[in-house]
Structure 1
Amino acid sequence: MFLGMVGPWQIMLILGLGLGIILPIIALVDIVRHEFKGNNKIIWVLIVIFFNIFGSILYFAMGRQQRIDTV
């Protein structure tokens, strides 16, 4: 293997780490910027922190409908 060549395993690792870091940050910023009913905001923050990628996907699939629209 030549130095500087990136193989499929390196690309998968980079994408996996990127999703593991970027997706929870985007979810946490979205949660903090919006209002929720009751304690839902705290619950979603804890879900995203403890279950990084899975919690973020769960928030984007289910949690965004629980936001209070202030438009």
Structure 2
Amino acid sequence: MSNLLFLGFGFGTSIFGILYAVLAIYCIIDIIQSSFKDTTTKLLWLVVVLLAPFLGSVAYLIAGRSGKRW
């Protein structure tokens, strides 16, 4: 029974790991392809997402997209 629990835990963590990586990669690509009002802002968001992938990605999706030039 404990082996089944362990396998389920491993599968669950691998799914979250994949989603975590996809979120960070999506944000990095979006930052690179977008034009911001200021070049420094673009660089700062890129550094934030690279240094803190999960929190930086969430922060970028919530607050960073407003700094883009439309």
Specify if TM > 0.5. Answer: yes
Larger relative helix fraction: 2
Q: How many residues align?
A: 66
TM-score (norm 2): 0.82
Percent identity over paired residues: 25
RMSD: 1.8
Unaligned runs of 5+ in 2: none
1:42 alignment counterpart: 43
Unaligned runs of 5+ in 1: none
Runs of 4+ in 1 over 4 A off after TM superposition: none
Tell which deviates more after alignment, 10-19 or 56-65: 10-19
What does 1:2-17 align with in structure 2 at a 5 Å threshold?
A: 6-7=7-8, 9-17=9-17
1:65 and 1:11 map into 2 onto residues whose CA distance is: 36
2:59 alignment counterpart: 58
1:34 and 1:65 map into 2 onto residues whose CA distance is: 11
